[in-house]
Structure 1
Amino acid sequence: MYNLFFASLVTYFEVKTQKSNYERVGIEETGELSPSLISAINNLAIDNSDDESSDDQVELDEDPVDTSRDERPAYAFDESTATLSQPVGPAEHLRAIVINRPTAQMISVFRLQKTREQMSEKEVTDFVMNPVPQGQKVLCKIIRSKDGFGKFYPQYELYIEDISENGEETRTFLLAARKRKKSKSSHYIITTDKLDVAVSSKNIVGKVRSNFLGTAFAIYSKGRNPFKRESESSNLPVREELGAVVYDPNILGFKGPRKMTVLLIGMTRNGERPEFRPETDAQTLIGKFKNGDHRDILVLHNKSPQWNEETQSYVLNFNGRVTLASVKNFQIVHDNDLDYIIMQFGRVEEDTFTMDFIILNTF
């Protein structure tokens, strides 16, 4: 689960803001897709070809990741409490169910039971790939490194954050991600070793790939690419698709908030994540979403901030976990309960970000 959320955030860093004189449109209030999102969906094919170029070469003329400081501050409003009703069953044979949102009294902060040094590599991999305990809030920090050539190919490191009663903070490293060099499209490697973020790393636990336009991203586990006829990893099982992220092209004339749609496979009643190994484009999460087949798919969106004339800013409540203004600050919600924040992300320093999430009682 950490791998999935971390990969989703990597896509958010990658997306670049577009400028236009047209008004920005997204998911309409009626629930129908807007023209701009329909256009984006029609171009969602992910580049699944494996690049043969070496990761040891740096191509400086590639359009770099936008690491400039963002504008438009984000401020706070309080959230309410309610119950989230999921319109799509977590499995085809299950009916829609009601998801009970945990109250503040029911939520506890997740803490590791072992230090990273005490965990084997298998334990680390299992930990980042499996769902976290339900009803627990997970606090994380993401550090972006862009020294030297890192300005063009930043490395992102994910840490679990533990804050003691006296306010002391400790961090435990979990994952690192880096964009592949000389890749035809945006292609990130995610590993459990921050010193070995290469395509040949034995510690790879996930990959992120985009379409040509950079408006859609698929998140995979380690495994065989079914779209490649011959592969050195042919003895491995077909990779799992862990999730996908689709961005509504931002055609607002300034750096406004971006519209993102997160696609996940629904969890079972027992809190387990079913395996999902598509072998054709139509079977992928994006393929099913494009064709209007939302069975077994949990569709989430970023919460739309409201423009505040008094502060001249977009406002969202991050409960003190976000301290710097950025258009990268966002919260993920389900359409049936826009006040229940499933995940939030935001900037606290120039290259430091918080990522917090609470897993729903049942997907």
Structure 2
Amino acid sequence: MSQQRAFLSRVSSSSLGLFRESRNWARRERGEVEEEEEIDGGGRDGALEVPGEEEEEGGRWERMPPELIGEIVQRVEAGGERWPLRKDVVSCACLCRRWREVTRGIVRPPLETGKITFPSSLKEPGPADIPIQCFIKRNKKNSTFYLYLGLTQTFMDKGKFLLAARRFRHGARTEYIISLDVDGLSQGSNAYVGKLRSNFLGTNFRIYDSQPPHSGAKASSSRASRRFASKQISPQVPAGNFEVGQVSYKFNLLKSRGPRRMHCTLECPVGNSEEDSPKPKAHSGGVPLVLRNKAPRWHEHLQCWCLNFHGRVTVASVKNFQLVATADASQPPGVGDEETVLLQFGKFGDDLFTMDYRQPLSAFQAFAICLTSFGTKFACE
């Protein structure tokens, strides 16, 4: 209820008028007032009453006409271009089931809008034209990594928290648990969304999603793949560990000069069209997406390898990379070409890294790929 109260206190005055109309309508439906009776906004200073905690979910908000709910949500959606104002859109979906259905029908996916709104947006592809700009904070003390959505074009904002990951050692292997909650970094947590597992040398990684990438997908047969209560992303499907990608680093046995060389194979989500349902679909049965790191050029004056990060990376590091699609006509449609950067990652401060991604990658997949870059790889450098 506190989230509802916070939302109602932020609703614009024009939307309050619509709320008053709806309350009058609901009262007339219950026979509490006559059709002609005029009712004011109610409450002190005309503020709209907030349903008490004793009211059921199917209360006054549930009984509002869907057309009126849609009008309110559209106004809130139009006024919340970026976070933190976008909290109002989420609050609309939290009022009750009917509001949630209407809100999800109005709010378009990141592929169309470039906006991250709900937790499910983290597993939907980003926009095709302009990448979504994020950044990662690293805490070396507890081997934890935090993904934030950039709120401005500078490196000064605090950002909107999206995902967290923690690195664990299992013998000679490394595993990263990815979660929606900084306090739920375990596979048994409701906030668990996936994981990353390395080989003995730390040169090959497998990406696991807590949800199936397509219908008919089978969970990993490993002992750690038992089902968990991961309900935040999509409660309609079972949770488990489904392999959705691999990342490998090429051996550099001759110790030749140059950055690390990466190769990624992914199953990517497919964006929704206007006629589709708001739920994300998945790339099923087709050719997986193949990415490789963009080759840098040697700068004679600086005597180093260079890539153009367009001001988003300011510190030279072996971890910096840009990924492009391989030149293959069988690739999924809309991936771009060998010059279109689909994911770039690089350092801009102490334990601070940028992460910019676009279609067909999702925030979850981009974050998992970037996590593979952390850690020393003696066989590759």
Q: Give TM-score scaled by structure 1 length.
A: 0.54
2:194 is aligned with 1:206: yes
Q: Match for residue 261 of structure 1?
A: 263
Identity of aligned residues (%): 35
8 Å CA contact 1:208–1:220 kept in 2: the answer is yes
CA-atom RMSD in angstroms: 3.5
Q: Match for residue 65 of structure 2?
A: none
Higher helix content, 1 or 2: 2
2:177 is aligned with 1:189: yes
Q: Residues 110-125 of structure 1 correspond to what in structure 2 (within 5 A)?
A: 111-112=82-83, 114-115=86-87, 118=90, 124-125=118-119
Count of residues paired in the alignment: 229
Q: Residues 1-363 of structure 1 correspond to what in structure 2 (within 5 A)?
A: 111-112=82-83, 114-115=86-87, 118=90, 124-147=118-141, 150=142, 154-163=143-152, 169-222=157-210, 225-228=219-222, 233=227, 236=238, 239-253=241-255, 256-268=258-270, 270=272, 273-274=281-282, 296-336=287-327, 337-359=337-359
Displacement of 1:304: 1.1
Letter in 2 for 1:209: R
Show CA shifts across 1:201-239 (max 9, x none): 221101111223322211111268532379753994553
Displacement of 1:327: 1.0
8 Å CA contact 1:137–1:356 kept in 2: the answer is yes
8 Å CA contact 2:137–2:147 kept in 1: the answer is yes
8 Å CA contact 2:226–2:241 kept in 1: the answer is no
Shift of the 252–162 alpha-carbon distance from structure 1 to 2, 3 Å rule, reads: farther
Displacement of 1:251: 2.5
Q: Distance in 2 between matches of 1:168 and 1:350?
A: 13
Displacement of 1:342: 1.3
Q: Distance in 2 between matches of 1:145 and 1:266?
A: 29
Show CA shifts across 1:271-294 (max 9, x none): 7552669xxxxxxxxxxxxxxxxx
Letter in 2 for 1:274: A
Letter in 2 for 1:340: T
Letter in 1 for 2:166: R
8 Å CA contact 1:242–1:265 kept in 2: the answer is yes
Q: Match for residue 42 of structure 2?
A: none
Bigger radius of gyration among the two? 2
Q: Distance in 2 between matches of 1:227 and 1:179?
A: 22
Show CA shifts across 1:43-90 (max 9, x none): xxxxxxxxxxxxxxxxxxxxxxxxxxxxxxxxxxxxxxxxxxxxxxxx
Shift of the 313–219 alpha-carbon distance from structure 1 to 2, 3 Å rule, reads: same
Tell me, which stretches of 5 or more residues in structure 1 are unaligned? Answer: 1-109, 278-294
Q: Distance in 1 between matches of 2:86 and 2:296?
A: 38
Q: Indicate the structure whose relative CO is greater, using CA pairs within 8 Å and at least 6 residues apart.
A: 1
After TM superposition, the structure 1 stretch with the greater mean CA deviation from structure 2, 219-228 or 343-352, is 219-228
8 Å CA contact 1:131–1:273 kept in 2: the answer is no
Q: Distance in 2 between matches of 1:318 and 1:180?
A: 31
Displacement of 1:298: 1.3
After TM superposition, the structure 1 stretch with the greater mean CA deviation from structure 2, 249-258 or 231-240, is 231-240
Tell me, which stretches of 5 or more residues in structure 2 are unaligned? Answer: 1-80, 95-99, 101-116, 212-217, 230-237, 274-279, 328-336, 362-381
Letter in 2 for 1:213: L
Displacement of 1:131: 2.0
